[in-house]
């Protein structure tokens, strides 16, 4: 209720969906810090807990924006940025601690390159006043990606509780990388006609 008493600009900046997005942004350095000491199993579990909460806010902020009719330009900008920062930071830390190694590095590269490609495409199309809506397959990709990273964050600590944790994580990780390729191509096709207008 207090939000309604605020000025319009302030109320949009501090509405519930945006607060959830800010929380996801704040989670990034916390997860990175925990994974920096990933040899301590407790830190992996703490990182996983924060990551799960951040993943839940990814669903809740969009849901809250629709249900409460609190969509904002700020939220539309920050939501994908928060998602990409979270995924990119976790990927780099998992590569650094050798949870993701060998051929699986190519899957990580595919995911990061796709995110850069789609971000650049969205920015270009935004200048043409053309929106690029998120597809249903892209939502499945994001879900699978987050679940796979959850298993990989648990890593060796998870192996002590559930043998095969890393293998499950890598299987889901590769599956999400394949979906990443598909959705990246799908988005490129959707924007291709606008790219050729010049």
How many angstroms separate the Cα of 129 from the Cα of each of 114, 142, 187, 192, 197? 22, 25, 16, 15, 14
Q: What are 197's two structure tokens?
A: 């207008």
How many angstroms separate the Cα of 147 from the Cα of each of 90, 101, 114, 165? 12, 18, 18, 12
**pLDDT score at 146:** 94
Domain covering 2-195 in this structure, CATH number: 1.20.120
* Cβ atoms of 78 and 145 closer than 8 Å: no
Q: Give every CB contact of residue 48 below 8 A, 6+ residues apart in sequence.
A: 150, 153, 154
**pLDDT score at 198:** 53
Shortest CA distance to 47 belongs to which of 62, 32, 25, 65? Answer: 32
The DSSP code for 72 is: -
**pLDDT score at 90:** 97
Q: How many CB atoms lie within 10 A of CB 37?
A: 13
* Cβ atoms of 138 and 183 closer than 8 Å: yes
**pLDDT score at 153:** 98
- What are the structural domain ranges in the chain? 2-195
* Cβ atoms of 112 and 151 closer than 8 Å: no
Q: How many CB atoms lie within 10 A of CB 142?
A: 20
pLDDT tens for each residue of the chain, 198 residues long: 334 344 444 457 788 888 889 999 999 999 999 999 999 999 999 999 999 999 998 888 877 777 877 777 777 778 888 989 999 999 999 999 999 999 999 999 999 998 888 888 877 777 777 777 777 888 888 899 999 999 999 999 999 999 999 999 999 999 999 999 998 888 787 777 766 655
CA-based angle 120:92:143, to the nearest 5? 65
């Amino acid at each position: 209720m207090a939000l309604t008493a605020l000025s319009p600009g302030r109320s949009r900046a501090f509405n519930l969906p945006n607060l959830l997005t800010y929380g996801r942004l704040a989670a990034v350095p916390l997860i990175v810090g925990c994974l920096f000491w990933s040899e301590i199993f407790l830190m992996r579990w703490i990182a996983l807990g924060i990551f799960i909460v951040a993943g839940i806010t990814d669903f809740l902020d969009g849901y809250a924006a629709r249900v409460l009719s609190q969509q904002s330009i700020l939220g539309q900008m920050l939501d994908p940025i928060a998602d990409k920062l979270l995924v990119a930071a976790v990927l780099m830390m998992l590569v650094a601690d050798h949870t993701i190694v060998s051929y699986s590095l190519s899957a990580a590269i595919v995911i990061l390159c796709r995110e850069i490609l789609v971000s650049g495409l969205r920015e270009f199309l935004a200048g043409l006043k053309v929106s690029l809506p998120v597809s249903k397959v892209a939502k499945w990709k994001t879900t699978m990606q987050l679940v796979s990273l959850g298993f990989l964050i648990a890593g060796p600590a998870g192996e002590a509780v559930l043998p095969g944790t890393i293998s499950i994580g890598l299987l889901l990780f590769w599956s999400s990388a394949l979906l990443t390729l598909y959705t990246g191509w799908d988005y490129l096709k959707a924007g291709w006609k606008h790219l050729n207008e010049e």
